[in-house]
Amino acid sequence: MRTREAILQAAAEVFDEVGYSKASIRLIMERAQVTQGGMYFHFKSKQGIAEAVVASQQRFVSLPEGEDGLQRLVDITFHLASELQTNARFRASVRLAVEQEEFGGRDATAYMEWAEQFHRQLLAARDRNELRFGVNELEFATLLMASYTGVQIFSNISTGREDLVDRIASLWRYLLPALAHEDVINRLRISPPGSLAAAKEA
């Protein structure tokens, strides 16, 4: 298991740095400091390693604690933005999910797992009477996942994700009026927990 984890960590770093097409088994082996036998005991191909990195996406991130509902949903999206800026394993899995056609993949599982996380928070928000009448929780969760994906891709291309937090804040400013009651929006903290902006909102 230690060898497998070392390979996944090294592969994630390599995929994050150079992408799937430029990564090589040799480079991953050197980064992981494993033998060819150790590598092929766990993974038979570069494609197999990439698929394992994508499949492990949610294991690479620990979600913030909090009471389920709209505020926690907002906090999760900012937490994911921070992880994309600092967590190479998570960043690599996200990159590979976007690039998966390069290794013959068309698997939306990683995306739908995040949509389900968002859906869970929206169901809790409904129970707390935070959502507008007529909002379909599953539909909105899927829309949020797709919107978030587009925002992070554009942020990565334009600034290397340096402005991702600001872009997520903008996303929420435009989505929330269609999602939540006005009094609920006024209570929400639409900034990363612990940030200067969040302190001002509090």
Report whether pLDDT(187) > 50: yes
Angle between helices 70-86 and 137-159 (to 10 degrees): 30
Report whether pLDDT(198) > 70: no
Model confidence at 199, pLDDT cuts 50, 70, 90, reads very low
AA identity, residue 29 = M
Task: Say whether 68 sits in a helix, a strand or coil.
Answer: coil
- CA–CA dist 77, 115 (Å, integer): 11
pTM: 0.84
Residues 108-166 pLDDT 10s: 888 999 999 999 999 999 999 999 999 999 999 999 999 999 999 999 999 999 999 99
Task: Say whether 131 sits in a helix, a strand or coil.
Answer: strand
Token reading at 68: 């389920």
- CA–CA dist 195, 104 (Å, integer): 41
